Structure 1
Amino acid sequence: MRFVRESGLYPDVSVPQVYAWNTIFESPAGAPYVLMDFIKGKAFDLAARHDSGWYRGLRAVPESQQVALVKAMARLKASLSKPVPFTEIGSLVVDSSGTFSVGPLMAIHGESLGGPYKSVEDMWHESHEECLLGGIEECCDRTEESFLSFERFTPHDLMDRYQKLSALIPHFKIPEPYTPLVLHHPDLALRNIFFDEESLLSDDPKVACVIDWSGAQILPLMLASCFPLDMMTTPICQDPAEGAWYSVPYDSTYFGDPDENEAAAKRIRCEIRLFYLRGLFGAHYGQQIVKLHQDSDLPRATVYLDAQYYLKFHEVMMGGFHGWIIHRRWISETYWRLQMMPTGNSASGERLVIGPDVYRSTIEPAVVDLGLLEESRSCPGGYARG
């Protein structure tokens, strides 16, 4: 939080002054604590409309207020998109003199992800090898009872995914417009944003302060372009699990069954509404980077459209061996899609990896069974076609 307050880069982002803190239970207070300024404002966290805990944050806000809050979060995200004066990927550290620098990349729960890294490719390659070593150890120690939990993920599958992901790294080179390093708040959600109460009923609610910067990272703009957590959605049915991502929302094409119960119908309506609100968020973000930073670059204005595939790849590369199991179909199909129809172009004309948010084969009968391509590699006549 000190960097946000002291750097001068974020005049539109307020954070409280921290006077003391401790992260262990053996502290003088008997628990982890942060002693900071009192900031008057309102956050949205409680389930306001329904008894179910699922309706929290933006979902619990009356629909009449949602658009204004989405625009406020887009403006906040645009404020944080100003390039930082660092050249490495990682997390911020400060020395005894108060000088900030980039240290190892830290996850939100305090786990070190290595680094600092000079490039995205270096970060992915190092994490990829760590995932392989962890996977080898786990496969070698696997017992008969734990075999089923791996869903028949064999040593052959492990090495197949390792080699495919290694081959994909050069294809996910981030185009230049999206490479500036920016500050990423990994837990940006309404529960961590306090609004000025007097402005809340207006069309332009004012952010009073932003808290909970634990795990803040320095990342390329492309990898920092995640929607606020309140705007994320996952499949209503978690089967298969591969449809659920931490960094990318699930855009459902399901409009519901008239015979479904009232609770299910309300949830489906909420999910569909969030899809449109995400479009509003992305468009307003593009408007705000022009207003705040005089940045009229077309690719950066549409980064929330272009980032989805890169965010998924980043999640797979940094998420550990079990992510290879959960998203093994995505890995395989991405590999084959890039062979068949390699890339699109960004607005700047640079190479851009594109693809569907959710592969159709995971939710309805496949139009083309790309899995057949793997089986046909050794067959005369080349690749199979649908």
Structure 2
Amino acid sequence: MTDSLAAQISTLKALYSTPKWVDLNGLINCATTRLASSRFQTDFECGGIFLLGRGAYNTVYKLQFSDGTQLAASVSKSSSKEFNPTAKHSEIATMKFVRESGLFPDIPVPKIYAWDTTFSNLAGAPYVLMDIVPGVNLADSRGPEPRGLRGLDYLEYERQDKVVKALAVLQASLSRPLPSELTKIGSIAPVDVQGKPQYSIGPFVTSRTCLGGPFTSMQDVWRAKLEYEALYTVEQRASLDNRSPPGPACTPETFSELYQELSSLIDHFKIPVKYSRPVLHHPDLALRNVLFDPDTLKITGVIDWAGAQILPLVLTALYPDDLLSANDHPFTHPDVPKNPYPDFWRCIPYDWTHPSPESYPAAFIGPEMPADFRPLVGALVRRVTLRAQFAAYFDEEMVRRKYSDSSLATLFSDAQEYLKFNETLFRGWRGWMDLERWIKSSYERTQISSRKEGNT
């Protein structure tokens, strides 16, 4: 190893809190060996390692080799106890499926060269070696400080419109009909048939858990999630070594009551046939995971496929994170309705309207430096229109590609209640405590409806 490479590794560890079990020198050795094996040569070496990006579960490094080759190395940040190898295998299979199946020719995905999902390799952690995706990350766009706009909000309206349309077309491409053998609900799994890679629908996995399956309906997924939470809480309470039992608000009685009410609501949220077709879902189509050509604003790469699943169309009707908004950013909106659970949803954005500047709270970012909230408020108001454009562009593209027999103009509004129920279940029992009033209110509405229909 050269002195320069050793210095780069030392700097990366010092600046970015590399987990203690990750060996960057070992990672370089793994990558060099894999590359040499695939190219039947040994006369090159790694000359540089640089940070490409950091996410919740992975850190990505750029490796430069003496022959000019550049690779991206995605290394897990999770400990061996937290790491889910089934989820990582599904993530890799999904990327290869999108790239190799021929079903998604307009979705650029990096080519994967090698991977290791164990902690016993020289890197000390699971890793994936892949192409470096060209393009720019628009999430890094920044306006002048202080309180400058960033990301999509910073772009001029014409460029915003191009980006929103590109993202809507991308989501429409993912929403194409799938072959009959890939229409169960679950996660993509690799299948090796006589040395030729093929794909199937495997168990329903998230980044942390596996619920079994694949499933034929979301009702079965939701019941599996309820059972998982019940087993988890029983284990937590029954463990004599557990000094931090579930929160005080989660008494056995409360948990039991919410469990039964959620179980009862499952059939009430049965997905309409129109929106039940299974499609491939990328769970995080945010600008941080989509790269663009800086001039044409065409998409050049889609990354971070962790948690990708096959889901009913209605549960994929989510706006990109960059189009979402909440009622408490940059301050609590003065017109927030006084209801028990205003805008508490991660999946449902708050529709900002322009409040009077006189109602802005006093805020300061430094001595004698009052913050001007007007640019941020204006950006949030604009997001309302951008969301409407996103839904319209999505519908137009679905019709153009003939992916749907009828218009999906109201998909994103029709999806909201189903998304709320799905989000409630997948927040887990702690989330149930936060959303207790919504659960009980929804349950009460079903009982009232049942009584009106004369059922007992």
**TM range, smaller chain:** 0.7 to 0.9
Pair 122,269 (structure 1): closer, same or farther in 2 beyond 3 Å: same
Q: How does 1:1-40 map to 2 (within 5 A)?
A: 1-23=95-117, 26-29=120-123, 32-40=126-134
Q: What's 2:215 paired with?
A: 117
Pair 140,212 (structure 1): closer, same or farther in 2 beyond 3 Å: same
Instruction: Kindly state the Cα deviation for residue 50 of structure 1 after the two structures are TM-superposed.
Output: 5.3
Corresponding residue to 2:324 among 217, 225, 232 = 232
Q: What amino acid is the match of 2:415? A: A
Q: What amino acid is the match of 2:379? A: C
Pair 105,284 (structure 1): closer, same or farther in 2 beyond 3 Å: same
Q: What amino acid is the match of 1:190? A: L
Distance 1:324 1:136 in 2: 16
Q: What's 1:249 paired with?
A: 349
Pair 67,172 (structure 1): closer, same or farther in 2 beyond 3 Å: same
Distance 2:133 2:377 in 1: 36
Corresponding residue to 1:102 among 197, 201, 205 = 201
Q: What's 2:425 paired with?
A: 317
Deviation track 1:88-147 (CA, whole Å, cap 9, x = no partner) reads 21111112331201112121x34323322121111111211222333455567799x979
Contact 1:90 1:218 in 2 (8 A): yes
Q: How does 1:177-192 map to 2 (within 5 A)?
A: 177-192=274-289
Greater CA drift, 301-310 or 235-244: 235-244
Instruction: Identify the structure with the greater strand proportion.
Output: 2
* Two-structure CA RMSD over aligned residues (Å): 3.1
Task: Provide the TM-score with structure 1 as the length reference.
Answer: 0.76
Pair 15,255 (structure 1): closer, same or farther in 2 beyond 3 Å: same
Q: What's 1:258 paired with?
A: 358
Pair 131,29 (structure 1): closer, same or farther in 2 beyond 3 Å: closer
Distance 1:52 1:149 in 2: 39
Contact 1:282 1:305 in 2 (8 A): no
Q: What's 1:220 paired with?
A: 312
Instruction: Kindly state the Cα deviation for residue 166 of structure 1 after the two structures are TM-superposed.
Output: 1.3
Contact 1:244 1:250 in 2 (8 A): no
Q: What's 1:268 paired with?
A: 377
Contact 1:139 1:155 in 2 (8 A): no
Instruction: Kindly state the Cα deviation for residue 149 of structure 1 after the two structures are TM-superposed.
Output: 5.0
Q: What's 1:382 paired with?
A: none
Task: Provide the TM-score with structure 2 as the length reference.
Answer: 0.65
Distance 1:213 1:148 in 2: 31
Distance 2:198 2:167 in 1: 29
The alignment covers a number of residue pairs equal to 333
Q: What's 1:42 paired with?
A: 136
Contact 1:188 1:229 in 2 (8 A): yes
Identity %: 40
Q: What's 2:402 paired with?
A: 293
Distance 2:446 2:225 in 1: 22
Instruction: Kindly state the Cα deviation for residue 71 of structure 1 after the two structures are TM-superposed.
Output: 1.0
Q: Which has the higher contact order (CA 8 A, sep 6+)?
A: 1
Distance 2:223 2:148 in 1: 37
Pair 328,253 (structure 1): closer, same or farther in 2 beyond 3 Å: farther
Q: Which runs of 5+ in 1 are unaligned?
A: 201-205, 343-386
Deviation track 1:276-306 (CA, whole Å, cap 9, x = no partner) reads 21111111110110112353513x3321111
**1:193 is the counterpart of 2:297:** no
Contact 1:283 1:302 in 2 (8 A): no
Contact 1:50 1:60 in 2 (8 A): no
Q: Secondary structure at the match of 2:300?
A: strand
Q: What's 1:130 paired with?
A: 228
Distance 2:200 2:405 in 1: 29
**1:167 is the counterpart of 2:227:** no
Q: Which runs of 5+ in 2 are unaligned?
A: 1-94, 363-370, 451-456
Distance 1:24 1:50 in 2: 44
Q: Secondary structure at the match of 2:345?
A: coil
Larger radius of gyration: 2
Instruction: Kindly state the Cα deviation for residue 174 of structure 1 after the two structures are TM-superposed.
Output: 0.4
Deviation track 1:29-61 (CA, whole Å, cap 9, x = no partner) reads 455543223433222122512558995532343
Q: What amino acid is the match of 2:130? A: M
Instruction: Kindly state the Cα deviation for residue 66 of structure 1 after the two structures are TM-superposed.
Output: 1.3
Greater CA drift, 304-313 or 227-236: 227-236
**1:90 is the counterpart of 2:198:** no
